[in-house]
């Protein structure tokens, strides 16, 4: 079963870029990454899915329900964490979270205190007295408090220190193990590589690729590091070289193609040392963007 289904989703603005003809699906129980730099269309896609803004064209559904006509029913089962959280400044964190629990008719308010303890959040402080990171913690608790079937996270780790990021990822894994589907939007590729099963890459409002993480990093590209004595004499004019970077006697190549042909080309080159590795998701990502 697909929890998220998007077909030809388009949102156009008079000024600036939106999204154009975006299509993909997310399976139940999956942790799905949605990556691209700021301004690529990640937040526009999310806001359209949540019916905060209406699509210009295309259709989309969550849990098989139309995002526009059945949005009220959808929201009962979704937890959403925006990139920036905004609350009434003079309210205490505990008051906001108790109100949220009532909104979802969720009665296990003990869970608020358990989550706050794990995230080291002072529930008695007013929002105006909280740092950006602590406000983000309130948003995290609000998003996962009612144990939603779908979590939609937009740049969720902004403002969190490394320790809190680790705790946050543990919480996500626990929710996923309980059956929650997670849609994880980020421009921090190491997070996506660590957490996600599949990933969609968006560029300038258009979808570039939807693929499994392991397929992106293993099957398509190879990273080659060479140590040479005479770098000026090295020629890499064979097909498949995506990128070349040179620092003194160190040469770094990114190769896409048949590995056997690559080995044949490398065999005739004069080098002192050679390593061939799988690229990181970030290197793959930059390949698509360049």
Longest dimension (CA), the chain: 72
Rounded Cα distance, 201 and 206, in Å:
9
- How far is C-alpha 56 from the chain's CA centre? 24
Structural domain harbouring 258: 220-289
Would you state the structure tokens that stand for residue 36, as one six-digit string? 């691209």
Same-domain check for residues 147 and 254: no
Q: Taking the alpha carbons of 204, 9, 179, 215 in that order, is the dihedral positive or negative?
A: negative
Residue spans of beta strands (DSSP E) within 68-158? 78-81, 150-154
Same-domain check for residues 132 and 262: no
Same-domain check for residues 78 and 118: yes
Same-domain check for residues 163 and 269: no
Show pLDDT as tens, one digit a residue, over the chain (290 residues): 899 999 999 999 887 779 999 999 999 999 999 988 888 899 999 999 999 999 999 999 999 999 999 999 999 999 999 988 999 999 999 999 999 999 899 999 999 999 999 999 999 999 999 999 999 999 999 999 999 999 999 999 988 999 999 999 999 999 999 999 999 998 877 788 888 989 998 988 999 889 888 777 665 678 888 888 887 777 777 777 877 888 888 888 888 777 777 788 777 778 888 888 877 766 777 666 66
Same-domain check for residues 111 and 176: yes
Same-domain check for residues 79 and 147: yes
Same-domain check for residues 30 and 167: yes
Same-domain check for residues 129 and 51: yes
pTM for this entry: 0.80
């Amino acid at each position: 079963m697909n929890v998220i289904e998007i077909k030809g989703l388009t949102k156009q603005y008079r000024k600036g870029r939106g999204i154009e003809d975006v299509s993909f699906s997310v399976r139940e129980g999956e942790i799905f990454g949605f990556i691209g730099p700021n301004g690529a269309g990640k937040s526009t896609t999310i806001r359209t899915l949540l019916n905060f803004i209406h699509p210009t064209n295309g259709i989309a559904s969550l849990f098989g329900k139309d995002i526009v006509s059945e949005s009220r029913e959808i929201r009962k089962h979704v937890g959403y964490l925006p990139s920036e959280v905004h609350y009434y400044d003079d309210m205490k964190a505990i008051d906001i979270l108790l109100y949220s629990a009532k909104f979802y008719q969720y009665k296990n308010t003990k869970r608020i205190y358990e989550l706050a303890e794990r995230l080291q959040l002072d529930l008695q402080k007013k929002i105006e007295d909280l740092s950006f990171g602590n406000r983000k913690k309130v948003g995290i608790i609000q998003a996962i408090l009612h144990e939603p079937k779908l979590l939609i996270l937009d740049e969720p780790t902004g403002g969190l220190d490394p320790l809190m990021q680790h705790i946050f990822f543990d919480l996500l894994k626990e929710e996923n193990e309980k059956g929650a589907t997670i849609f994880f939007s980020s421009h921090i590729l190491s997070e996506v590589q660590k957490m996600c099963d599949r990933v969609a890459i968006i560029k300038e409002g258009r979808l570039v690729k939807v693929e499994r993480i392991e397929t992106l990093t293993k099957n398509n590209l190879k990273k080659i590091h060479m140590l040479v004595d005479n770098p000026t004499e090295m020629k890499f004019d064979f097909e498949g070289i995506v990128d070349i970077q040179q620092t003194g006697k160190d040469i770094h190549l990114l190769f896409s193609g048949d590995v056997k042909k690559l080995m044949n080309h490398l065999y005739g080159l004069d080098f002192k040392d050679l390593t061939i590795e799988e690229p990181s998701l970030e290197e793959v990502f930059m390949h698509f963007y360049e």
